[in-house]
Amino acid sequence: MSNPLASDLNAMRQAMERTANPGRFAQAFHLVPPVGWLNDPNGLCQLGDTYHAFFQYSPFSAEGGVKMWGHCTSHDMVRWTYEGTALYPDQPVDVGGVYSGSAYVEDGVMHIFYTGNVKREDAYGYDYVNAGREANTVHVTSTDGNTFGPKKLVMANADYPGDDTEHVRDPKVWRDGDTYYMVQGARKKDDTGEVLVFSSPDLERWELCNRITSNTRFGYMWECPDYFELADTGEFANGAIVKVLSVSPQGLHGGDWDRRNVYQSGYFVLLGDVTQTCTLLPFALWDAGFDFYAPQTFQADDGRRILIGWMGMPDEKTYTNLTVRDGWQHCFTIPREVTARYGRVLQWPVRELEDFRTNLREQEGAIDAEDTKTFDLLIDDIDFDQPLTVTLAGQMQLTWRERRFEMRFLDEDMESTGAGRKSRFEYLDELRNVRVVGDMSSVEVFVNDGELTFSSRYYPEHYSLSVEAPTAQVHLWDLEVKA
Ligand code: FRU
């Protein structure tokens, strides 16, 4: 590496990683940073028989810092191997951080597009919103995720609409016919979030072709957009195409938003053409738990649409993660297969996870187990007129009562199992089944075949699990995941 900034960052990063000692909350099968801080999933793709996942990585502090792209690979999306750091902020176009982006694979080449973030003090009246921030769209190629060609600037602030602020970022690229498309998230000067859609004949020259926002203002910024189409699997849906625009909006207040997370992630089903004229159906949350943000999807070679979220929450002051004292913070969700059934979008853990199930216990109505460090729990045939309670580690309760599904921590103290987390809930018409996937310090709950999920970190003293679900069938497996 000839660039001194990159080579010094590389040496410092490796020195930090040598100090890593993740402690008792180390995850068994969730992608984690080796040390320091992780946020968004980036550049998710499959190349040959290898899945690649990059992540927003700040190795020098568990509380965040300079952003680079860490890199992991996997052959089953359950066991991840850390490969080192792929992209450093080492050029004038990205010196303030290699921010989020995506990978588009063609002919064995990963085309990575990301936001080169630059904060400039030499701009008059700089506030990093309307002045002083460069949001550079950078293109770089790789055939293995480890070595890269030169970073090429393909768009800069002047290429974005004049009524946007300098908050434009997180390119996600796909191809349709002979044309390439890209969505980016943006904040308009009137503090409205929107998605910009660009098209290109060659991945180099990009032109704005659409701007998408909701009918009424929905937050001030939409981060990490993604667009994909699903063939409806409903028996009588005849494979109808469901178009999904995923965004992470910031700045939602009032009504139900006040009891939810500081920022949200969800999707709009889109009617019309994403590149021309379209309308958005009402926003639906991807996940109603405490820790879920900035998801990204990719299509596996076998056709599955896979979604991975960041199991964390930016700018959250009321709760924390007890791993910070072990020098690391945050992880990814389990990769989830995304499907559509009768217009509803469903998430379900990748089927590969089921290969790691052992020690099945099955019972009707109730189950109690100890030492449930890594587990997969399925409750089905639920009579939704009956109450249901799942208690994890004696502290986290999942309850269903009077059409309300709730995830709640019994002790709300910052030092407790929930580390300050209190309650998240949503109202549902019915409850048919619940699946809970537990790792050492995380719980992911899939409700009604994955119509809604609740993801959360937790920090148990003692691991245990207890289910009360009158007349339902309860199936419990250990998950045994070894590297
Ligand atoms: C979302 C986000 C992105 C940005 C990245 C920086 O969490 O703010 O919009 O590219 O994180 O780490």
Kind plus residue range of the DSSP H or E element containing 6: helix 4-18
Helix or strand or coil: residue 131? coil
Instruction: With CA atoms as reference, report the closest residue to 390 among 449, 434, 359, 441.
Output: 434
10 Å Cβ neighbour count for 201? 11
Q: What angle do CA 271, 273, 275 make, to 5 degrees?
A: 140
DSSP structure string for 161-173: -TTEEEEEEEEEE
Atom of ligand 1 nearest to the CA of 114: 10
pLDDT value at position 1?
53
d(CA 397, CA 380): 18
Determine the distance separating the centroid of ligand 1 and the alpha carbon of 68, expressed in angstroms.
Answer: 11
Q: Are strands 331-332 and 336-341 parallel, antiparallel or unpaired?
A: unpaired
Name the burial class of residue 61, with classes exposed (0-12), middle (13-18) and buried (19+) by CB atoms within 10 angstroms of its CB. Answer: middle
Name the residue with the closest Cα to ligand 1, atom 9. 223
Residue 117 CA: nearest ligand 1 atom is 10
Question: According to the model, what pLDDT value does residue 357 have?
Answer: 98
Strands (E), 254-395: 266-272, 278-280, 284-285, 293-299, 305-311, 328-329, 331-332, 336-341, 344-349, 357-370, 375-380, 388-392
If one residue of 54, 63, 99, 262 were mutated to test the ligand 1 pocket, choosing by the most ligand atoms within 8 A of its CB, it would be 99
Q: How many CA atoms lie within 13 A of 25 on its CB side?
A: 25
Dihedrals φ, ψ of 239, to 5°? Answer: 65, 25
Q: How many helices (H) and strands (E) does the chain have?
A: 1, 33
38 CA distance to ligand 1 centroid (A)?
A: 11
Show the tokens assigned to 325.
């004292």
- Closest by CA to 312, choosing from 100, 56, 43, is 56
| DSSP helix/strand/coil, 398 | strand
Q: Ligand 1 centre and the CA of 446: distance in Å? A: 26
Per-residue buried b or exposed e for 124-155, using 16+ beta carbons within 10 Å of the residue's own CB: eeeebeeebbbbbbbbbbbebbeebeebebbb
Quick one: DSSP state of residue 34? S
Q: Yes or no: say if 285 and 265 are a contact pair by the CB < 8 Å rule.
A: yes
**In one letter, which amino acid is 54?**
F
Residuewise pLDDT in 10s, the chain (483 residues): 579 999 999 999 999 999 999 999 999 999 999 999 999 999 999 999 999 999 999 999 999 999 999 999 999 999 999 999 999 999 999 999 999 999 999 999 999 999 999 999 988 888 999 999 999 999 999 999 999 999 999 999 999 999 999 999 999 999 999 999 999 999 999 999 999 999 999 999 999 999 999 999 999 999 999 999 999 999 999 999 999 999 999 999 999 999 999 999 999 999 999 999 999 999 999 999 999 999 999 999 999 999 999 999 999 999 999 999 999 999 999 999 999 999 999 999 999 999 999 999 999 999 999 999 999 999 999 999 999 999 999 999 999 999 999 999 999 999 999 999 999 999 999 999 999 999 999 999 999 999 999 999 999 999 999 999 999 999 999 999 986
CB-based contacts of 337, cutoff 8 Å, min separation 6: 304, 305, 306, 307, 347, 348, 349, 350, 351
Given this model, what pLDDT does residue 62 score? 98
Query: What is the Å distance from ligand 1's center to 480 Cα?
Result: 33
Q: Which of 87, 170, 262 to mutate to test the pocket of ligand 1 (most atoms within 8 A of CB)?
A: 170
Using DSSP's 3-state secondary structure scheme, residue 192 falls into coil
Cβ atoms within 10 A of the Cβ of 431, count? 22
Structural domains in the chain, CATH included, are: 31-349 (2.115.10.20), 357-479 (2.60.120.560)
Distance CA 465, CA 377 (A): 10
What is the CA(99)–ligand 1 centre distance, in A?
Answer: 6
- Rounded CA gap, 311 and 328, in Å? 13
pLDDT (0 to 100) of residue 145? 97
Q: Which residues line ligand 1 (CB under 6 A)?
A: 39-40, 56, 67, 99-100, 115, 169-170, 223-224, 293-294, 314
User: Who's near 325: CB < 8 A, 6+ residues apart?
Assistant: 23
Q: What is the pTM of this model?
A: 0.98
Q: Cα torsion at 276, 141, 312, 191 (round to 10°)?
A: -40
What number does the ligand 1 atom closest to the CA of 56 have? 12
* Ligand 1 probe mutation, 54, 119, 224, most atoms within 8 A of CB: 224
- Catalytic one among 40, 226, 232, 291? 40
Does 429 participate in catalysis according to the annotation?
A: no
255 Cβ contact list (under 8 Å, min separation 6): none
Please tell me the distance from the alpha carbon of residue 53 to that of residue 335, in angstroms, as a whole number: 10
Instruction: Please list, in sequence order, all residues whose beta carbon lies within 8 angstroms of the beta carbon of residue 170, skipping any fewer than 6 positions away.
Output: 40, 99, 100, 101, 115, 184, 185, 223, 224, 225
Residue 302's pLDDT is: 98
Pull the structure tokens for residue 243.
């178009």
How far, in Å, CA of 405 to CA of 424, rounded? Answer: 9
Distance CA 392, CA 417 (A): 10
Sign of the torsion angle spanned by Cα atoms 59, 65, 71, 74: positive
How would you list the strands of the sheet with 193-200, edge to edge?
Answer: 164-176, 179-188, 193-200, 207-212
Q: What is the DSSP letter of 353?
A: G
The SS3 call for residue 175 is strand
